[in-house]
Amino acid sequence: MNIIDELTWRGAINQMSDEVGLRKKVEEKSIGVYCGVDPTGDSLHIGHLIPFMMLKRFQMAGHRAHIIIGGGTGSIGDPSGRSSERVLQTMEQVHHNEEALTAQMKQLFGKDNITVLNNYEWLSKIDLLSFLRDYGKLFSINTMLNKEVVSSRLESGISFTEFTYQILQSIDFHHLLEEKDIELQIGGADQWGNITSGIDMIHKIEGSGTEAFALTIPLMLKADGTKFGKTAGGAVWLDAEKTTPYEFYQFWLNQDDRDVVKYLKYFTFLGKEEIASLADKVKNEPEKREAQRRLAEEVTAFVHGKDAVVQAQHISKALFSGDVKTLTAAEIEQGFKKMPTVEVSNEALNIIEWLVLSGIEKSKRQAREDVANGAIYINGERIQDANYIINPSKSFEGKFVIARRGKKKYFLAKIK
């Protein structure tokens, strides 16, 4: 299947600058294609992942994939998608973020048919007069003002710094075409103006017959109309320290039936037949949530590896069944990250006293009543003996005690 046909089936194309020309090009030879990201933070989140999944598909189809870490453009700030000016980061922070994002990209893309570059390498070498003479003359202020990325900011205001961002991105495209034979740039829907500015600049410098292409990805919205990728707790990060693999797995597992098939097309490498089969199961057996489980497995394995999937499923099963004693201390840190948490000493105490001192129970009378009624579980075991002694040093490497009151009310006690 032509890569353009596959992306079309997956609903992954918003706009293309020359569909006929691009189709012919990808059929004739392996082409150079790139997607960029600015180091505004030290981790990507799943919203960033969307265009890079398309880049991955080009890589898998045998094309030469390039990732541009925007050390240069990131020091300026992209105005798209914002209603106000960015706060400029220190160059030290920018360089730290560059290193973190480069490591993430190498983990996601491997080593075959992929190159990671940093636009600071060439943008930092352009002096002011060369910038104005060689590039500024090629851009019409009128045209730049009409670009949606700029026009949307005119009422609230935009600095000259952010106004020039599209020129810098255009310089990137021209440099990569000239030095790396990269003819296609991929980006989000909001990048259309910036990418086509680059194509216009290339045609002015190299001639109107020079082949350069743009492909953008649709803005992804959930079935309820809200923006994909945000949760009540904020962004879903690819960094395991910011969003644990268990949380990451649960995010995909909990997707709406109305969205799951679309996400299978976007975020997995499953083929037409398997996705069609999963779509039938969403329609006819939604209670089994097989499509969501497959989605969670595939995306978690892609970002964190297969071992992380096994671990996330183990945590999920333990929490659902209440059999938490099978968990490791590391798994507890993941699965109980957002559970009510208390700090306790490592002193061995009677269960009644321990429940009150930890704040899990308000009074000894209530603690005795709950223990007698079988409502209290310690480390997965129901305790009905009021004389039971809790020894924190003997559970989960001496780091945690897990208490449960009733069917679902968990508490994580961290040992001081």
Residues 381 and 296 reside in one and the same domain: no
Contact call for residues 6 and 57 (beta carbons, < 8 A): yes
Find the CATH number of the domain harbouring 168. 3.40.50.620
166 labelled binding-site residue? no
Q: Give the separation between CA 307 and CA 318, rounded to whole angstroms.
A: 17
- Residue 89 falls within a domain, yes or no? yes
pTM comes to 0.87
| Residue 76 falls inside a structural domain | yes
Backbone angles phi, psi at 177, to 5 degrees: -65, -45
Euclidean distance between the first and the last CA atom of the chain, given in angstroms as a whole number: 59
Per the domain annotation, does 172 fall within a domain?
Answer: yes
Give the domain-ending residue among 163, 188, 217: 217
Does 81 share its domain with 167?
yes
Report, in this order, helix, strand and coil percent for the chain, each rounded to 5: 50, 15, 30
What the block records as the tokens of 86 is 């960015």
Q: How is residue 54 written in tokens?
A: 């398309």
Please state, in angstroms and rounded to a whole number, the distance separating the CA atoms of residues 281 and 294: 12
SS3 401: strand
At 312 the pLDDT is: 94
Residue 399 sits at φ, ψ, to 5 deg, of -105, -30
The residue among 155, 171, 3, 162 whose CA lies nearest residue 88 is 162
Q: Is 384 annotated in some ligand binding site?
A: no
Range of the domain at 55: 3-217
Q: Are 100 and 43 in contact (CB under 8 A)?
A: yes
Q: Indicate the SS3 state at residue 319.
A: helix
> Do 43 and 181 belong to one domain?
yes
Residue 165, annotated as binding a ligand: yes
- Whether 69 and 171 map to the same domain: the answer is yes
Q: Is residue 96 part of a domain?
A: yes
Determine the Cα–Cα distance for residues 227 and 245; give it in Å rounded to an integer. 22
* CATH number of the domain residue 294 falls in: 1.10.240.10
170 lies in the same domain as 243: no
Are residue 157 and residue 90 in the same domain, yes or no? Answer: yes
How far, CA to CA in Å, does 366 sit from each of 214, 384, 406?
A: 67, 13, 13
The pLDDT score that the predictor gives to residue 77 is 80
CA 315 – CA 323 distance, rounded (Å): 10
329 domain residue, yes or no: no
Domain boundary among 188, 217, 246: 217
Tens digit of pLDDT at every position of the chain (416 positions): 789 999 999 999 999 999 999 999 999 889 999 999 999 889 999 988 889 999 999 999 999 999 999 999 988 887 876 667 778 888 899 999 999 999 999 888 887 778 999 999 999 999 999 999 999 999 999 988 888 878 888 878 888 988 999 999 999 999 999 999 999 999 999 899 899 999 999 999 999 999 999 999 998 888 888 878 766 667 899 999 999 999 999 999 999 999 999 999 999 999 999 999 999 999 999 999 999 999 999 999 999 999 999 999 999 998 888 888 889 999 998 988 888 898 888 889 999 999 999 999 999 999 999 999 999 999 999 999 999 999 988 889 889 999 999 887 899 999 98
pLDDT for 325: 87
Tokens of 233: 């707790």
Instruction: Supply the DSSP symbol for 227.
Output: B
In whole angstroms, give the CA distance from residue 344 to residue 413: 6
Ligand-binding site membership of 266 (annotated): no
Domain shared by 154 and 198, yes or no = yes
Residue 378 sits in a domain of what CATH number? 3.10.290.10
Number of domains in the chain: 3
**Would you call 205 exposed, middle or buried from its count of C-beta atoms within 10 A (0-12, 13-18, 19+)?**
middle
Residue 135 and residue 34 share a domain: yes
User: Would 225 be classed as within a structural domain?
Assistant: no
Non-local (6+) Cβ contacts of 268 within 8 A are 275, 294, 295, 298, 299, 302
Distance in angstroms (rounded) separating the CA atoms of residues 114 and 14: 24
Q: Are 34 and 184 in contact (CB under 8 A)?
A: yes
